[in-house]
Amino acid sequence: MEEQEILTTLKILIIGESGVGKSSLLLRFTDDTFDPEQAATIGVDFKVRTLTVDGNKTKLAIWDTAGQERFRTLTPSYYRGAQGVILVYDVSSKQSFNKLDAWLNELETFSTKHDMVKMLVGNKIDKSNHEVTKEEGLKFARKHHMLFIEASAKTNDGVQCAFEELVEKIIQTPGLWET
Ligand code: GDP
Ligand code: MG
């Protein structure tokens, strides 16, 4: 097979309340692992993965928060230059859903690309005690012009799809990623 040329490197952020499963989603996507013991304490700056979408090979630098989100101390450099963001809540935590507005405000304040593509992810759908319905998630996403998917880092539902749809939309947005 012919070696494909990498189209571009994209900066993707994962944000949302502490404990919603941001690091778990990232590890599932990059390493295809889920470790309930380790995930809570793991903190990386970013992880790199290539992803081919619609025949375009892209390199993703996906930034995790390493726990600073607990104190809302993400710095402007975290947000700078990002083309895409994954905003995560936990479907079994209404509290994490109610904080989405605050995260969008933060994003609005610090992001440097105003046509940045946003994906809302309702994580932990494998759990039985849902406090947030799919309709509520969808409604929030529509209101804020975001893509939306429910997912589980534990069972690997929707994880690949979330990243693929985000990257597809970024590639389709003129002027967002070309240098
Ligand atoms: P972060 O603080 O947002 O990075 O969240 P973590 O990835 O550290 O996850 C917090 C806790 O939720 C850990 O105990 C994970 O094992 C657990 N967790 C993460 N994703 C899922 C999921 O999809 N389903 C379930 N049941 N638990 C999850
Ligand atoms: Mg984390």
Query: Using a 6 Å cutoff on CB, does residue 23 contact ligand 1?
Result: yes
State pTM to two decimals. Answer: 0.93
Query: Using a 6 Å cutoff on CB, does residue 24 contact ligand 1?
Result: yes
60 burial class (0-12, 13-18, 19+ CB within 10 angstroms)?
buried
Per-residue pLDDT, 177: 82
End-to-end CA gap in the chain: 28
Q: Give Dmax (Cα) for the chain.
A: 49
Distance 13 CA to ligand 2 centre (A): 12
DSSP-H helix ranges across 37-99: 76-79, 94-98
Mean pLDDT of 169-179: 85
With contact defined as beta carbons under 8 Å apart, do 87 and 141 qualify? no
Contacts of 85 (CB under 8 A, 6+ apart): 12, 13, 14, 15, 107, 111, 116, 117, 118, 119
> Could you read off the pLDDT of 106-146 as tens digits, one per residue?
999 998 888 899 999 999 999 999 999 999 999 999 999 99
Query: Using a 6 Å cutoff on CB, does residue 39 contact ligand 1?
Result: yes
Mutation test residue for ligand 1: of 20, 24, 96, the one with most atoms within 8 Å of CB? 24
Residues around ion ligand 2, judged by CB within 5 A, are 22-23
Report d(CA 76, CA 133) in Å as an integer: 32
Of 139, 81, 162, 86, which is closest to residue 114 (Cα–Cα)? Answer: 81
pLDDT > 80? residue 164: yes
Distance 43 CA to ligand 2 centre (A): 6
Query: Using a 6 Å cutoff on CB, does residue 159 contact ligand 1?
Result: no
pLDDT > 80? residue 38: no
Lowest mean pLDDT among 58-67, 97-106, 134-143: 58-67
pLDDT > 80? residue 2: no
Mean pLDDT score across all residues of the chain? 90
> Which residues, in sequence order, are bridge partners of residue 78?
none
> Side-chain half-sphere of 147: how many Cα atoms within 13 Å?
20
